[in-house]
Amino acid sequence: MTVKSKAMDTQHNGKAKREGKELFISRVFDAPVELVYKAWSSPEHISQWWGPTGFTNTIKIMDFRPGGKWEHVLHGPDGTDYRNEHVFKEIVPNSRIVYTHVSYPKHDMEADFIPMDGRTLLKIKMIFESVEQLDNVIHVFKADEGLEQNLTKLNKYITTMTQEKSFTITRELDAPRELVYKVWTDPEHLAKWWGPAGFTFVTSKLDLRPGGMFHYCMRSPDGQEMWGKFVYRDIVAPERIEMIVSFSDKDANNVRHPWAPTWPLEQLSVLTLKENGNKTTLTLTGSAYNATEEEQKTFDENHHNMEQGFAGTFMQLDAYLAEMQK
């Protein structure tokens, strides 16, 4: 049963459209604005994806500031080189980039980065000197198709950027997938196994739907109360759950990790469950979400500690599943 899948806005499906001398395209990326903007604003990153399918590029200069130059060479799949020169006109960090492409075909490009609940809506407008010029670049250079391919390559690169910084743990569970899914989605079951070893549940409330929340309070062995929450983004029962995980207060406001002040305020966690006979392969992937550089560094340096923490939690899950099947 599918509870609800994340709906990609059909108005932003990555197809180029034209109006007069302007070419438009927009697409939603499953990554925060800061990450998408970073992929555009650094020569280290943009060199990895810029250009249509089959093209690579070499960055000569990228002086990323208003008035700065960006010069690069696109290398076509047939070996032809295409030299490009741009001048940046406007830069608003994590929001907007505008440049003039001063080599042929001359045009302005505007890129707007718009946050959408943890994702990013990227809107691009290419403004040519005349209708006839745009007609020509579409006919000769397939500018519309190239723009679509460019965003597809960007999407793949952003996925790679996200995965490289993620934490993954996999465990084989001796229980059918429907049961494993149930103990992840029922608050009465979650209270019996979720959390660090030695912690007990005080209270919890679960609203299982995209946009809904699991909000809970646990008590540590020394009596300290700690609140946390999952905010569900995508649920495909009994296969997959995507959620934003964070520490919280009793009113469900995000708060800092009680023992690690530079820990990311939010993490994106994706749980997948695959059938393996009467067993279930569980994979949990986590990544820092909307994190600062300091928070990302803290997250990256603590993968081993996360492995140890989840090992204890999943031992409790194993024991609980075994008890349920007696």
Using alpha carbons only, what angle is made at residue 125 by residues 123 and 126, rounded to the nearest 5 degrees? 150
Q: 292: how many CB neighbours lie within 10 A of its CB?
A: 13
Is the pLDDT score of 30 beyond 90? no
Structural domains in the chain, sorted by start: 10-163 (3.30.530.20), 167-324 (3.30.530.20)
Question: For the CA atoms of the chain, what is the radius of gyration?
Answer: 24
Confidence band (pLDDT; 50, 70, 90) for 141? confident
Is the pLDDT score of 241 beyond 90? yes
Half-sphere exposure of 8 (CA within 13 A, CB side): 11
Q: Which residues contact 80 (CB under 8 A, 6 or more apart)?
A: none
Q: Lowest mean pLDDT: which of 13-27, 178-192, 282-296?
A: 282-296
Confidence band (pLDDT; 50, 70, 90) for 139? very high
Q: Are 185 and 241 in contact (CB under 8 A)?
A: yes
Q: Which residue has the tokens 């103990």?
A: 183
Helix axes 303-324, 177-185, angle to 10 degrees: 110
Q: Are 151 and 14 in contact (CB under 8 A)?
A: yes
258-265 average pLDDT score = 93
- Average pLDDT taken over every residue of the chain: 91
226-251 average pLDDT score = 94
Q: What is the pLDDT of residue 12?
A: 65
- Beta pairing, strands 225-236 & 240-248: antiparallel
* Residue 209 burial by Cβ neighbours in a 10 Å radius (0-12, 13-18, 19+): exposed
For 148-171, how does the pLDDT look when each residue is reduced to its tens digit (9 = 90+)? 999 999 999 988 877 667 888 999
Q: What is the pLDDT of residue 164?
A: 67
Half-sphere exposure of 301 (CA within 13 A, CB side): 10
* Total number of residues shown for the chain: 326
Is the pLDDT score of 227 beyond 50? yes
Confidence band (pLDDT; 50, 70, 90) for 14? confident
Q: Lowest mean pLDDT: which of 37-41, 114-118, 271-275?
A: 114-118
For 50-77, how does the pLDDT look when each residue is reduced to its tens digit (9 = 90+)? 999 999 999 999 999 999 999 999 999 9
Report the percentage of the chain scoring pLDDT > 90.
73
CA-CA distance, 123 to 110, in Å (whole number)? Answer: 8
Using alpha carbons only, what angle is made at residue 69 by residues 63 and 73, rounded to the nearest 5 degrees? 100
Residue closest to 137 by CA, chosen among 47, 26, 12, 18: 18
Q: What is the pLDDT of residue 194?
A: 95
Burial 176-201 (b: 16+ CB within 10 A, else e): bbebbbebbbebebbbebbbeeebeb
Q: Are 47 and 61 in contact (CB under 8 A)?
A: no
* Residue 108 burial by Cβ neighbours in a 10 Å radius (0-12, 13-18, 19+): middle
Residue closest to 94 by CA, chosen among 149, 171, 13, 38: 38
Confidence band (pLDDT; 50, 70, 90) for 197? confident
Q: What is the pLDDT of residue 6?
A: 43
Q: Lowest mean pLDDT: which of 3-12, 89-98, 126-135?
A: 3-12
Q: What is the pLDDT of residue 11?
A: 58
CA-CA distance, 272 to 246, in Å (whole number)? Answer: 19
3-state SS assignment for residue 78: coil
